[in-house]
Amino acid sequence: MAKKIRKLKIKSNRKYGNVGDSPGMIHIDENAMKPVLRLYSYNQQEVQQSDGSNFESVLQQLDVCTNHTHWLRVNGLGDQNLLEQIGTHFGVNRLVLEDIVNTHQRPKFDDYDNYFFVTSRLITYHEDELSNCQVSFFVKDNLIISFQEDYSNTFEMIVKRLIGGKGLIRTAGPAYLCYAMMDTIFDLYFSLLNNLGDMLDDIEDRLYENPDKSIMYDSQKVKRTMIMLRRAIWPERDKVNEMIREDIPLINKDVKVFLRDAYDHCIQIIDMIESYQEITSSIIDVYLSIVSNRMNEIMKVLTLISVIFMPITFIVGVFGMNFARQDPVTNKVLPENMPELYSPHGYTYCLIAMFVITIAQILFFWKKGWFNRL
Amino acid sequence: MAKKIRKLKIKSNRKYGNVGDSPGMIHIDENAMKPVLRLYSYNQQEVQQSDGSNFESVLQQLDVCTNHTHWLRVNGLGDQNLLEQIGTHFGVNRLVLEDIVNTHQRPKFDDYDNYFFVTSRLITYHEDELSNCQVSFFVKDNLIISFQEDYSNTFEMIVKRLIGGKGLIRTAGPAYLCYAMMDTIFDLYFSLLNNLGDMLDDIEDRLYENPDKSIMYDSQKVKRTMIMLRRAIWPERDKVNEMIREDIPLINKDVKVFLRDAYDHCIQIIDMIESYQEITSSIIDVYLSIVSNRMNEIMKVLTLISVIFMPITFIVGVFGMNFARQDPVTNKVLPENMPELYSPHGYTYCLIAMFVITIAQILFFWKKGWFNRL
Amino acid sequence: MAKKIRKLKIKSNRKYGNVGDSPGMIHIDENAMKPVLRLYSYNQQEVQQSDGSNFESVLQQLDVCTNHTHWLRVNGLGDQNLLEQIGTHFGVNRLVLEDIVNTHQRPKFDDYDNYFFVTSRLITYHEDELSNCQVSFFVKDNLIISFQEDYSNTFEMIVKRLIGGKGLIRTAGPAYLCYAMMDTIFDLYFSLLNNLGDMLDDIEDRLYENPDKSIMYDSQKVKRTMIMLRRAIWPERDKVNEMIREDIPLINKDVKVFLRDAYDHCIQIIDMIESYQEITSSIIDVYLSIVSNRMNEIMKVLTLISVIFMPITFIVGVFGMNFARQDPVTNKVLPENMPELYSPHGYTYCLIAMFVITIAQILFFWKKGWFNRL
Amino acid sequence: MAKKIRKLKIKSNRKYGNVGDSPGMIHIDENAMKPVLRLYSYNQQEVQQSDGSNFESVLQQLDVCTNHTHWLRVNGLGDQNLLEQIGTHFGVNRLVLEDIVNTHQRPKFDDYDNYFFVTSRLITYHEDELSNCQVSFFVKDNLIISFQEDYSNTFEMIVKRLIGGKGLIRTAGPAYLCYAMMDTIFDLYFSLLNNLGDMLDDIEDRLYENPDKSIMYDSQKVKRTMIMLRRAIWPERDKVNEMIREDIPLINKDVKVFLRDAYDHCIQIIDMIESYQEITSSIIDVYLSIVSNRMNEIMKVLTLISVIFMPITFIVGVFGMNFARQDPVTNKVLPENMPELYSPHGYTYCLIAMFVITIAQILFFWKKGWFNRL
Amino acid sequence: MAKKIRKLKIKSNRKYGNVGDSPGMIHIDENAMKPVLRLYSYNQQEVQQSDGSNFESVLQQLDVCTNHTHWLRVNGLGDQNLLEQIGTHFGVNRLVLEDIVNTHQRPKFDDYDNYFFVTSRLITYHEDELSNCQVSFFVKDNLIISFQEDYSNTFEMIVKRLIGGKGLIRTAGPAYLCYAMMDTIFDLYFSLLNNLGDMLDDIEDRLYENPDKSIMYDSQKVKRTMIMLRRAIWPERDKVNEMIREDIPLINKDVKVFLRDAYDHCIQIIDMIESYQEITSSIIDVYLSIVSNRMNEIMKVLTLISVIFMPITFIVGVFGMNFARQDPVTNKVLPENMPELYSPHGYTYCLIAMFVITIAQILFFWKKGWFNRL
């Protein structure tokens, strides 16, 4: 009868290294996907790309394309060897490698001497499944490496813009590309928030038309998603702010203008989350009040019916007593015992009395306002 | 019986650009209204005005009125071409154009080299419909352009004051005009808050006189409106504060005095919102307590009636049993079976006993205080 | 039966100017009282005073008393003409005049070149009526003007001290007088808080002795008063702090010592308000728990009684059935039909059985602890 | 049956001076105790002490002990004359005297030119009575005066340590003695918090074993005590911090090390209070849930019993109807009227049917899980 | 039937010194364990270790191993003599010794002239028992002493890494060892949080499948653990931050890089705790709503059944009345008394009427939606 309530599945990595491990230790999760590499080498004139998991081909292309900017996409983190090769070749600190692999980092920005490292959270919600992945960027003077946990094609549009070549994307350096990818993630947040907003609208419509208990569960799902989003976006804001404030050569003034725009987006996301949280609370409050009211209505009506039948049931009980008019054994007449039963119009009077009592009760309760809705 | 509860309709734009779009991309919403242009050119002596959507006539007037300050009103944002023409002619940054068109910006103040850009939210509440539009101002040395989403005549009074020519309005430059329009928006907030205050007064009156469930819904409507207002006014405060603090030539000392006044108004609005929120919570608490109390009252009285009838209904049941005084088959007399039925005054005694039990119960419950109100 | 609950009346001005009005516009409220002027001119030797609404006599006295400090009391703000005369004569800025007349300002301190302006809120609670008036002070080198909305004699004690001439009051200048009046307002806050404290004590006594629903309403009244107080005292604190921090000649070091004392009082008031708010919440929680417990007690007892009578009422029903021992038509004996009715001790056994069942039930419920209080 | 709930008595001074009084006015509370003076004059070699309320003997001892540090204990503040004598003799500012007498000050530290003044709150909880007294210290180069409201021997241990002469107490000056007394007050807070912790443990034990409504009341008592403690300890922390930060000769570097230790204690107290507050809330939540669950259990069982008896009571009612097989007047046989009553096994079948219905109901409810606990 | 709810046992030291004790007084708790000493002397080449409680052997090894770094592990704090020996030999301040022994310190970092002192909390949760122990570190140029309350082998992995000799552990000095142990404690926090996360997952599964009251209790256990964790981790964060910010020779730049990593871990732990707290609240809300809904369902169904039987039970009562068709004494016929009983099809009609009434009621309630779930 009632539709089955499904629990919100949360796909989030909680595994950590062992207690007491050395810092900089790389633990590959057993469920981690095999890495797929793609290298895009671009300058104002052209874009070259190579796919596959072969690191040699990547190195070859790097050798060939000398006056290009390179974007190395790494999808999947399940090969310790390959990651360490990348680390060694591009000079990535072991602590950074650890942060790339332990995919439960808060969004953060770490500035090293000749490169910087940025992590973001990628939160997606699809059919009652909430997933929280990590995307990280390693940015050097003419190189950006992006690391993603799975093969999802999040940055498809960026690739298109790169190949299309419009705007600043081919000329503004790797930090701009990093910004562009971060902004894409924010766009995904906006789109997720729009979905949540639609869900809230839908929940609210049901609330006013046909409230049932799915409202409680659906609100809780929205709430849970919101908790995760808020936990991701607050450090994201700090991160972007830090990128704007820090004075490092890799992030030039032009990129900072765009980062300021991204910062505004962060604030807008925070704003929307907080509004939605308040709306969710308000929906839950109204729902609880509706349930309680409706239940009260039902109980009141049912109890009123019981009470109206109480006295008349008592009366029929009275005239169902067997006090005898005549002792069957001695045949003695007992005139005081229930003379009403032997009155010619006793039954009629009795029915009239019960009718009057019923009407009187209804009038009394009606006057007290107990038939009104609360 | 119960009046139909209407959901609060919220007219608010939630559409954003596509995921991964370049920054500075202008997306005209398909429901956006066609722009209507009006140009007011004024100096201490005179005010000239031209209406219509024809950008050429605007340009002509700009050429003619050389020692005037110009106010270009743009109502409706549904023509990408026209907007880009305006942008190009007055040197508006593409990111600013994007902010003008994406009408979901937080109130903010952006200072560029030779102009500044301000956005405000215009929140109106009319017949259960809450709308949240964007108004933005582009201010240059002798020019102000105002952008509104619809044709609503919000700044009617400003036009009247401009034509009337009293006060500083014709002489204090475009930044003062910008202030005057922002202050008009604050006045609208005050007027909206006064309406909300009247609604709260009305809800509270109903709460003390005739509480029904509309109180819950109406309080929630006020609460929702308050959430939206608060989300708009907090960044508004920061914006005004920034305008006061920034040291830019366009906003001179005289205008800053008025901005400080506007800042005070912001704080007052925040104050009122917070007071109203607390009052709303307090109303909801009292309402829930009233409902629960009233329901309890009803259930208690009804249950008391049931319980009072319980034992006497049992008694009439007892004397309705058919234990026989004489076996009809053997005619054996069974003197122990219900001798009360054959006692001459059995019925009378029985009625007296039931009366006494009823009175005793009532006294007992009355002494326990169960007839008192909670 | 239940005492009538009265709503807390709140006398607070919410009217504002029209939307889009020029700043500095003076709107006299139509209910505003006619101004009554009183001028006290004092120095170490003497105090001269003149009463009445005649501004000329005030000007005369100002001319005569040249080496005096002047305190001009204005009670009632209902005469635009007079106020503008005062404004012009003493050089009061139009924005300040607007703030004096729009009696809904937050407490604030505005420092102008040769004078300063201070507003305070005067909150009083009398017989379920909460009023929130504005008092403002205009202080110049040897002049202080106080503006009050009504004729209430709030500063009676100050006048007495002035005439008595003890302490610093006659010699420490107009800023000290301003301090003294502000401190009087704080004293009124303390006295109001003491009343609220007494109300809370009284509510709490009733809570433990005889809780009824007036507790809910009275707590809400205290809460509402507290909301208003808190809204007034927080900016008051900031105001006093600003007066201490600002370096202006009118407020000398000696006055600042007293202002620091006033600041401590502010903090104490805030402290008391917060404590009282927590106590109020705690009272409401306990009340709701008591109501719920008491209701539960009643329902439990009533339902227990119902249930105890259920099975025995069933039994008497069974023996009230008319299964016949002998078919009246055929006279066939039906020995299986209710032989109990024809057993010599059937009735006695039945009574015993019902008694045993009742006792068994009571024992069972008692053992389950259902007679215990929750 | 239920144990009587006692209200938490709160002994706290709320009286203030009259509205509009001059600052520095000393109001002796009418219930104030007569002062008892004790003077301890000590140096590394010896400790001399004099008791009694005679100020002359104190002055004599001060004259005699010239190279000693003096500690003047004043217990009881009910003698305006004596306090003013002390004030005049030791050069205490009138505002300070007012703070000593108005025993409702927040903990604070006031630094004057050649002395400093410190107030603390002394909170004790004994047999449902919570008292909140003021202790204040006046510290000059070789003198400390402590003021307490009553004769309680709070600083007994300090006197013992002074006489014992171990540690720094005799040599580290009056500021160290002041620290030692403040630390004693913190120790009393710890001991009070331990008592509250034990109370919470006890409440929690009862919660899991035998929850009754005293849990609600006792939790509220703990909560109230906590509110008062928190109000006292937060400014206490600020006070100690200020004493550490201020650069005054009376508080030398060695004393500051100990003050830092006291500061740590403050933080620990704040921590414990906040933990206890969360635990208290959690206890109240669990209690409310238990009560509601238990009540629900009872109501469910009782209603189940009612419902199980409903249909079978109806059946016995049916067979209690008097539809006649034969009209007693006309003797006409009516074979359709209740033939069951005249069937040979009617009664047996009826009993079996009722039994089956009862079992079916129980099975149905059991399958629905309505016998399970929630 | 219901599983026994066990209270969460909390093993936490609350005993403090006596009121008014001198600072620096060492109170050995009577339950404190006897100290077990272990000394590890290591340099790049080798690791030497000695076990046992004999302080002489420790001193000997210190004499022998001159170019080593020493780690003295002290497990158990129950020997005042030994602790004072250690204190004296290594120059530990008495206040520090007091902090080591009073095992209720907040995590803190105290920098002294030639050493520093750090305390951490070690929180473990095992089979409904939550324990909160203190670990403290005393770090000097080539020495680190760790103090633990019990013999638990928390730092087993550190010893293994020390003996293994990989990484920086043997060469980076005692501050690195201190960091390594602190990081191990954070790893334990992560592992505890993972357990709590699993518990929450399990609670949530039960919530959706088979909610019973253990959910409330288990959530409260998680909440309690969280309160304790939060109280420990916030000052831990401040402590690590202080260690990074302070400029002391013992903590060199390399160690600070690792401390920054530890700081990130702190923030992650705080984040997880706050998320879990919100999830716990959300679980409790859903649970309370489920319980209330289920109870309401049951009550509604039961009451519906009662009400459906009410009118038909009344009808059978009516026809059970004994109004006589003929006076048994006078034999007078009373034709108006219950003629239905003597109608040939009276019984059949009566049964049909009751059936119709029942169906009508069910239809009515079904149409009202009272059979739907809320």
DSSP annotation string for E304-323 = HHHHHHHHHHHHHHHTT---
Choose, out of A201, A287, A321, the residue to mutate when testing the contact with B (most B CBs < 10 Å).
Answer: A321
Decide if B264 and C108 are in contact by the 8 Å CB cutoff: yes
Decide if D317 and E322 are in contact by the 8 Å CB cutoff: no
Output the pLDDT for position C13: 56
Output the pLDDT for position B180: 92
Could you give the angle at the alpha carbon of A110 between the alpha carbons of A105 and A114, nearest 5°?
140
Whether the CA torsion B229, B235, B241, B246 is positive or negative: it is: negative
- pLDDT of residue D239 exceeding 60, the answer is yes
Decide if D374 and E294 are in contact by the 8 Å CB cutoff: yes
Decide if E373 and A1 are in contact by the 8 Å CB cutoff: yes
Q: Whole-angstrom Cα distance, residue B305 to residue B311? A: 11
- pLDDT of residue D22 exceeding 80, the answer is no
Output the pLDDT for position C298: 80
Q: Measure CB to CB from residue E341 to each of D311, D323, D373 and give the nearest one.
A: D323
Choose, out of A274, A318, A325, A364, the residue to mutate when testing the contact with B (most B CBs < 10 Å).
Answer: A318
Output the pLDDT for position C2: 43
- What is the rounded average pLDDT of the residues E185-197? 90
Q: Measure CB to CB from residue B320 to each of A320, A324, A337 and give the nearest one.
A: A320
Mean pLDDT comparison of A52-66, A334-348, D146-160, highest-scoring range: D146-160
Output the pLDDT for position A269: 92
What integer best gives the mean pLDDT of chain D? 86
CB D247 within 8 A of CB E182: no
Residue pLDDT, tens place only, E79-92 = 888 888 999 999 88
Strand partners, C136: C119, C147
Output the pLDDT for position C105: 85
Residue D2 banded pLDDT, cuts 50, 70, 90: very low
- What is the rounded average pLDDT of the residues A17-32? 75
Output the pLDDT for position B371: 75
What integer best gives the mean pLDDT of chain A? 86
Output the pLDDT for position A332: 84
**Could you state, in order of their start, the residue ranges of all structural domains in chain E?**
295-373
Q: Whole-angstrom Cα distance, residue B161 to residue B120? A: 21
- What is the rounded average pLDDT of the residues C86-91? 90
Choose, out of C93, C221, C242, C342, the residue to mutate when testing the contact with B (most B CBs < 10 Å).
Answer: C342
The shortest C-alpha distance from E78 to chain D (Å) reads 23
Output the pLDDT for position E374: 47
Residue pLDDT, tens place only, C185-221 = 999 999 899 889 889 989 988 888 878 878 888 898 8
Task: Give Cβ neighbours of residue C301 (< 8 Å, ≥ 6 apart).
Answer: none
Among A89-98, B288-297, D259-268, E232-241, the minimum mean pLDDT is found in B288-297
Give the burial class of A341: count Cβ atoms within 10 A of its Cβ; 0-12 exposed, 13-18 middle, 19 or more buried.
buried
Of all residues in chain E, the percent with pLDDT exceeding 90 is 25
Output the pLDDT for position D189: 92
**Helices of type H across E246-367:** 253-318, 346-367
How big is chain C by its Cα radius of gyration, in Å?
37
The shortest C-alpha distance from E172 to chain D (Å) reads 31
Q: Measure CB to CB from residue A347 to each of E327, E337, E370 and give the nearest one.
A: E337
Q: Whole-angstrom Cα distance, residue B75 to residue B72? A: 10
Decide if E317 and A322 are in contact by the 8 Å CB cutoff: no
Choose, out of B194, B310, B361, the residue to mutate when testing the contact with C (most C CBs < 10 Å).
Answer: B310
Output the pLDDT for position D1: 37
For B349, the closest chain A residue by CA position comes to A337
What integer best gives the mean pLDDT of chain C? 86
Q: Measure CB to CB from residue E320 to each of D169, D317, D336 and give the nearest one.
A: D317
Decide if B374 and C211 are in contact by the 8 Å CB cutoff: yes
Decide if C314 and D313 are in contact by the 8 Å CB cutoff: yes
Residue C69 banded pLDDT, cuts 50, 70, 90: very high
CB contacts of A342 in chain E (<8 Å) are 324, 327, 329, 334
Query: Which chains lie within 8 Å of chain A at 3 or more CB pairs, if any?
Result: B, E
Q: Whole-angstrom Cα distance, residue B101 to residue B83? A: 9
Residue C5 banded pLDDT, cuts 50, 70, 90: low
Q: Whole-angstrom Cα distance, residue D357 to residue B24? A: 76
The shortest C-alpha distance from E299 to chain D (Å) reads 7
Output the pLDDT for position E143: 92
Residue B328 banded pLDDT, cuts 50, 70, 90: confident
Decide if B257 and C104 are in contact by the 8 Å CB cutoff: no
- pLDDT of residue A235 exceeding 80, the answer is yes
Output the pLDDT for position E269: 92
Which DSSP state fits D214? Answer: H
What integer best gives the mean pLDDT of chain B? 86
What integer best gives the mean pLDDT of chain E? 86
Choose, out of B321, B326, B334, B370, the residue to mutate when testing the contact with C (most C CBs < 10 Å).
Answer: B321
Which structure tokens are listed for B226?
Answer: 């308050």
Choose, out of A234, A295, A331, A355, the residue to mutate when testing the contact with E (most E CBs < 10 Å).
Answer: A295
For B318, the closest chain C residue by CA position comes to C316
Decide if E291 and D322 are in contact by the 8 Å CB cutoff: no
CB contacts of C346 in chain B (<8 Å) are 323, 334, 337
For C6, the closest chain B residue by CA position comes to B208
Residue pLDDT, tens place only, E143-179 = 999 999 888 888 988 999 898 887 788 888 899 999 9
Which structure tokens are listed for B111?
Answer: 């200072």
Output the pLDDT for position B1: 37
Output the pLDDT for position D6: 67
For D4, the closest chain C residue by CA position comes to C208
Query: Which chains lie within 8 Å of chain E at 3 or more CB pairs, if any?
Result: A, D
The shortest C-alpha distance from C229 to chain D (Å) reads 18
Decide if B224 and A334 are in contact by the 8 Å CB cutoff: no
Q: Measure CB to CB from residue E188 to each of A19, A312, A319 and give the nearest one.
A: A19
Residue B2 banded pLDDT, cuts 50, 70, 90: very low
The shortest C-alpha distance from D282 to chain C (Å) reads 14
> Which regions of D18-167 does DSSP assign to beta strands (E)?
36-42, 47-52, 69-75, 108-111, 116-126, 129-140, 143-148
Q: Measure CB to CB from residue C306 to each of B205, B307, B338 and give the nearest one.
A: B307
- What is the rounded average pLDDT of the residues A276-294? 86
Strand partners, B38: B51, B73
Helix (H) or strand (E) holding B165: none
The shortest C-alpha distance from B265 to chain C (Å) reads 9
Strand partners, C146: C73, C137
- pLDDT of residue E52 exceeding 70, the answer is no
For E222, the closest chain D residue by CA position comes to D282
- pLDDT of residue B25 exceeding 80, the answer is no
The shortest C-alpha distance from B213 to chain A (Å) reads 6
Decide if E2 and D306 are in contact by the 8 Å CB cutoff: no
- pLDDT of residue C89 exceeding 70, the answer is yes
Residue A74 banded pLDDT, cuts 50, 70, 90: very high
Residue D216 banded pLDDT, cuts 50, 70, 90: confident
CB contacts of E216 in chain D (<8 Å) are 286, 289, 293
Which DSSP state fits C342? Answer: G
For chains D and E, what is the number of CB pairs under 8 angstroms?
161
Residue B53 banded pLDDT, cuts 50, 70, 90: low
Residue D109 banded pLDDT, cuts 50, 70, 90: very high
Residue pLDDT, tens place only, A101-140 = 888 888 999 888 889 999 999 988 877 788 889 999 999 9
What is the separation, in whole angstroms, between the first and last Cα of chain C? Answer: 28
- pLDDT of residue A374 exceeding 70, the answer is no
- pLDDT of residue E54 exceeding 60, the answer is yes
Residue pLDDT, tens place only, A191-228 = 899 889 889 989 988 888 878 878 888 898 898 889 88
- pLDDT of residue A16 exceeding 70, the answer is no
- What is the rounded average pLDDT of the residues A58-64? 87
Nearest to B217 by CA among A204, A296, C284, C223: A204
- What is the rounded average pLDDT of the residues E36-61? 85
